[in-house]
C-alpha cells in the first residue's frame, strides 16, 4: 500500500498541471497564444507555393483610373469572358467572380461616355445597364464555366446575383470571409445557408471541366494552409487583360478569379505570410482552391484526442522527472518541448495541425510542479526526521545521563585497579556517546532552523581543561602532550555558549590529535579589541590557536 501511494504521489504534479491546462483550454485561454505560435510555425515551415493553375485578375487602381467608373460596367466582364473563351483550351478555364453582381448594384450601368445627356438619361442608363447584364450573361453561357458569388447584408438578407446571371452560372458560392480575434483569416465556412464557399464551388466547376479535383463529401471544417504571400500568385490588372497585354494562351486551362483589388474599399485579410500589411480579401478564395487541388488543407486534431494527450502526458512526464536533480529535470523538459515542436513541424508537412501551446504548458507546468512537490516532500521529510531525532535523542539522553553520573559515582568508591579501569572506560564511553547524541540533536536543530545559541558568562579555563581532559586518553595513546596557554589580556569570564564552545574546541583538538604523529598539541588563547560601529563600546573576543606538528598540507 505504501509503495502504491508513493508511486501515485509521483503522478500528482503532472495531474495538477494537466488539469489546470485543460481548464484553461476549456475557456479558450490558450487561443491567442496558440494563434500567434501557429503563425510563427507556418512561417518557419515556409511557403509551399501557389498552384500553377491559379490566376488572379484584379480590378485594381489602374483599371478604375482607366474606365473612370466604379463599380464598372458589366460589359467589361463580358469582354473578359469572350477573351477567355477564345483560348486554345478555353473550355477548360474556370472563371470565378468574387464580386456583387445583383440587380441593385450600380455596376449594371454602362460607362459614362455611353450615357446620353438627355432627360431620359436615367431610363437610358438603366436600359443600357440591363443590356450590359444581358451581354455578360450571354458571354457566361458561351464560356460555360463561370462561378458567381453571393453575400448577405447585416440583417441576414441574401444579396443574390441578377437572375439572368445566376441562370448562366455553372455554380454559386458564398463570399463570407471569417476573421479570428487577431484579425487573421485561417478558416472558411464549408457551407453557409446551403451554399458552398466560392473556392469550393470553383473546384467543383473545375472538376466538371477537367475531370480533376474534387471535394471530400465528409468535409465539415476547413483550415486554410496559406500557400505563401499573395505577391507570389500571378495577378494581372483587368485593363491589361482586356487590352491584350496578357497572352491569351497563358490563361488557358487556368482557374481564374476576378476580384476587387484597388487600394481602398476592399475587405482586408491577414495571413501568416501577409501579416504586416493586409491584402484584399479576394485572395482567400484562391488559397482555398490551392488547398483542395493539392489536398493539403490543415486538419486539426480532434479535441478528445488533445484532451487525452494532455491528461496522459502530464503524469507520464511527472513520473520521469521525479527523483532527478533539477538540472536533469530542466534538460528533460526542454528536450520534450523541442521534440514536440519537431513533431508539430513534421505533422504540418502532411497537413495536420497539432496544438503546441497547451502541450508546452503541460510540460512547463509539470516541471514546475514537480520541483515544488519535491521541495514540499523534502521539507515534510526533514520535519519528520527532525522530530524523530529530537524525540529519540531526548529519550536516549535520559538513561545515558544516569549512566554517566553513576559511572562517575562508581569511580569514587573503593575499587581495585582493574575495576577502576572498567569504570573509567564506561564513563568515557558514555560521555562520548552523549557527545554523539548531542551532535545528532544539534544537526536536526540546524536543519529545522531551531538551533539557538546561549549567551552567558563562561569560565574559559574550565572549558579548555574540560576539552583537553576529554582528548587526553587519545593523546596519551600516541605519546602526544596536550598543553594550553592563555594570554594575560584574556578575561577569565567571557560571554558565550559553553556547550557549543566546548564542541568547537573539542573538534579542533580531535583533528589536531588525529593528524599529529609526535610532539605536542598546544592551545593558545589571546584576545583582540574591535570597535562596534556608531558606538564607543569595546567588544572582546577570544581566539584559540591550536598548533602542533601538523602536515604541511593541513592549515593551522
The reported pLDDT for the residue numbered 110 is: 43
Quote the CA–CA distance of 50 and 254 in Å, as a whole number. Answer: 13
> Distance between CA atoms of 463 and 493, rounded to whole angstroms?
11
The answer to whether 490 and 460 are in contact (CB under 8 A) is yes
pLDDT, tens only, 363-422: 999 999 998 888 887 777 777 777 776 676 667 777 877 887 788 888 888 888 888 888
pLDDT of residue 449: 66
CA-angle at 28, arms to 25 and 31, nearest 5°: 100
pLDDT at 87: 67
User: For the chain, how many helices (H) and strands (E)?
Assistant: 15, 20
The per-residue pLDDT for range 24-50, each reduced to its tens digit, is: 999 989 999 999 999 999 898 889 899
pLDDT band at 356 (very low <50, low <70, confident <90, very high): very high
pLDDT value at position 393? Answer: 66
DSSP state letters, 408-469: HHHHTS---HHHHHHHHHHHHHHHHHHHHHHHHHHHHHHHHT------EEEEHHHHHHHHHH
When mean pLDDT is compared across 102-116, 357-371, 426-440, the lowest value belongs to: 102-116
| Share above pLDDT 90 across residues of the chain, in percent, rounded to a whole number | 39
Q: What is the mean pLDDT of residues 211-227?
A: 82
Query: Residue 109 above 70 pLDDT?
Result: no
pLDDT at site 419: 84
Please tell me the least confidently modeled range out of 229-233, 392-396, 405-409, 477-481: 392-396
Residue 128 scores a pLDDT above 80: no
Which pLDDT score, from 0 to 100, does residue 90 have? 45
Range 236-254 average pLDDT? 91
pLDDT at 544 (0 to 100): 52
Strands 538-548 and 519-531: antiparallel
Task: Confirm if 453 and 497 have CB atoms less than 8 A apart.
Answer: yes
pLDDT in tens, 304-337: 999 999 999 999 999 999 888 889 999 999 999 9
The pLDDT of 192-221, averaged and rounded, is: 85
pTM: 0.67
Residue 358 near residue 34, CB atoms below 8 Å: yes
Model confidence at 119, in pLDDT bands (50, 70, 90)?
A: very low
Is the pLDDT assigned to residue 91 strictly greater than 90? no
pLDDT the model gives residue 555: 43
> Is the predicted pLDDT of residue 556 greater than 70, yes or no?
no
Beta partners for 196?
191
Q: Own/partner pairs for 499-504, CB < 8 Å, 24+ apart?
A: 499/438, 499/454, 500/453, 500/454, 501/458, 501/463, 502/463, 502/466, 502/467, 503/435, 503/438, 503/439, 503/442
| pLDDT at residue 548 greater than cutoff 70 | no
Selection from 206-215, 225-234, 402-411, 517-526 with the highest mean pLDDT: 225-234
**Mean pLDDT across the stretch 100-105?**
79
Higher-confidence residue: 191 or 441? 191
* Burial track 359-387 (b if 16+ CB lie within 10 A, e otherwise): bbbbbbbbbebbbebbeeeeeeeeeeebe
Ranges 10-14, 65-69, 443-447, 496-500: which has the least confidence: 443-447
* Residues 60-70, mean pLDDT to the nearest whole number: 88
Taking the C-alpha atoms of residue 167 and residue 133, their distance in angstroms, rounded to an integer, is 12
What pLDDT, on a 0 to 100 scale, did the predictor assign at position 554?
Answer: 41
Q: Look at residue 545 and tell me whether its pLDDT is greater than 60.
A: no
Domain ranges for the chain, please list them.
Answer: 2-44+301-370, 53-295, 382-448, 456-548
Which has more pLDDT, 382 or 290? 290
Return the pLDDT at 366.
Answer: 94
Using DSSP's 3-state secondary structure scheme, residue 288 falls into helix
What pLDDT shows up at residue 380?
Answer: 78
| For residues 252-257, average pLDDT | 92
pLDDT at 2 over 70: no
Instruction: Indicate the pLDDT class of residue 5, thresholds 50, 70 and 90.
Output: low
Mean pLDDT for the chain overall: 83
Q: Is 481 helix (H, G, I), strand (E, B) or coil?
A: strand
- E strand segments, 31-157: 54-59, 94-98, 146-152
**pLDDT above 70: residue 520:** yes
Mean of pLDDT values over 88-108: 74
Match domain 382-448 to its CATH number in 2.40.50.140, 1.10.287.130, 1.20.1440.230, 3.40.50.720. 1.10.287.130
Chain centroid to CA 538: 59
Fold of 456-548: Heat Shock Protein 90 (3.30.565)
Amino acid at each position: 500500500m505504501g509503495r502504491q501511494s508513493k508511486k501515485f504521489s509521483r503522478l500528482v504534479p503532472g495531474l495538477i498541471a494537466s488539469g489546470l491546462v485543460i481548464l484553461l483550454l476549456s475557456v479558450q485561454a490558450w487561443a491567442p497564444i496558440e494563434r500567434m505560435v501557429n503563425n510563427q510555425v507556418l512561417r518557419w515551415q515556409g511557403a509551399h507555393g501557389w498552384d500553377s493553375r491559379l490566376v488572379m485578375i484584379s480590378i485594381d487602381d489602374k483599371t478604375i483610373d482607366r474606365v473612370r467608373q466604379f463599380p464598372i460596367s458589366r460589359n467589361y466582364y463580358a469582354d473578359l469572358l469572350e477573351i477567355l473563351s477564345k483560348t486554345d483550351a478555353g473550355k477548360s478555364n474556370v472563371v470565378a467572380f468574387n464580386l456583387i453582381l445583383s440587380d441593385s448594384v450600380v455596376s449594371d450601368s454602362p460607362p459614362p461616355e455611353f450615357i446620353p445627356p438627355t432627360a431620359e438619361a436615367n431610363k437610358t442608363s438603366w436600359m443600357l445597364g440591363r443590356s450590359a447584364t444581358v451581354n455578360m450573361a450571354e458571354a457566361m453561357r458561351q464560356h460555360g464555366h463561370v462561378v458567381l458569388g453571393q453575400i448577405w447584408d447585416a440583417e441576414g438578407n441574401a444579396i443574390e446575383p441578377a437572375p439572368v446571371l445566376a441562370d448562366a452560372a455553372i455554380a454559386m458560392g458564398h463570399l463570407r470571409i471569417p476573421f479570428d480575434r487577431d484579425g487573421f483569416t485561417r478558416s472558411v465556412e464549408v457551407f453557409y445557408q446551403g451554399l458552398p464557399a466560392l473556392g469550393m464551388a470553383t473546384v467543383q466547376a473545375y472538376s466538371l471541366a477537367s475531370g480533376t479535383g474534387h471535394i471530400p463529401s465528409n468535409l465539415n471544417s476547413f483550415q486554410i494552409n496559406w500557400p505563401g504571400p499573395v505577391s507570389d500568385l500571378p495577378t494581372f490588372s483587368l485593363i491589361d487583360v482586356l487590352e491584350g497585354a496578357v497572352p491569351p494562351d497563358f490563361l488557358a486551362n487556368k482557374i481564374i478569379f476576378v476580384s476587387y483589388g484597388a487600394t481602398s474599399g476592399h475587405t482586408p485579410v491577414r495571413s501568416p505570410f501577409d501579416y504586416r500589411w493586409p491584402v484584399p480579401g479576394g485572395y482567400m478564395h484562391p488559397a482555398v482552391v490551392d488547398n483542395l487541388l493539392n489536398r493539403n488543407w490543415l486538419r486539426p486534431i480532434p479535441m478528445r484526442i488533445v484532451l487525452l494527450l494532455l491528461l496522459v502526458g502530464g503524469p507520464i512526464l511527472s513520473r520521469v522527472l521525479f527523483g532527478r536533480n533539477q538540472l536533469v529535470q530542466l534538460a528533460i523538459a526542454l528536450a520534450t518541448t523541442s521534440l514536440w515542436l519537431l513533431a508539430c513541424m513534421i505533422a504540418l508537412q502532411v497537413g495536420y495541425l497539432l496544438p503546441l501551446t497547451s502541450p508546452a504548458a503541460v510540460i512547463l507546468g509539470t516541471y514546475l510542479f514537480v520541483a515544488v512537490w519535491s521541495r514540499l516532500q523534502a521539507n515534510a521529510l526533514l520535519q519528520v526526521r527532525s522530530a524523530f531525532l529530537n524525540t529519540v535523542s531526548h529519550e536516549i539522553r535520559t538513561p545515558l545521563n544516569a549512566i554517566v553520573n553513576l559511572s562517575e559515582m562508581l569511580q569514587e568508591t573503593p575499587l581495585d585497579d582493574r575495576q577502576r579501569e572498567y569504570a573509567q572506560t564506561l564513563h568515557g564511553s558514555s560521555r562520548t556517546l552523549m557527545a554523539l547524541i548531542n551532535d545528532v540533536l544539534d544537526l536536526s536543530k540546524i536543519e529545522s532552523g531551531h538551533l539557538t545559541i546561549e549567551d552567558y558568562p563562561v569560565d574559559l579555563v574550565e572549558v579548555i581543561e574540560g576539552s583537553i581532559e576529554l582528548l587526553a586518553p587519545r593523546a596519551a595513546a600516541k605519546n602526544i602532550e596536550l598543553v594550553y596557554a592563555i594570554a594575560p589580556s584574556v578575561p577569565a569570564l567571557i560571554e558565550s555558549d559553553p556547550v557549543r564552545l566546548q564542541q568547537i574546541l573539542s573538534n579542533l583538538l580531535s583533528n589536531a590529535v588525529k593528524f599529529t604523529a609526535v610532539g605536542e598539541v598546544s592551545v593558545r588563547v589571546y584576545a583582540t579589541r574591535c570597535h562596534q560601529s556608531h558606538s564607543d563600546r569595546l567588544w572582546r573576543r577570544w581566539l584559540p590557536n591550536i598548533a602542533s606538528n601538523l602536515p604541511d598540507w593541513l592549515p593551522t
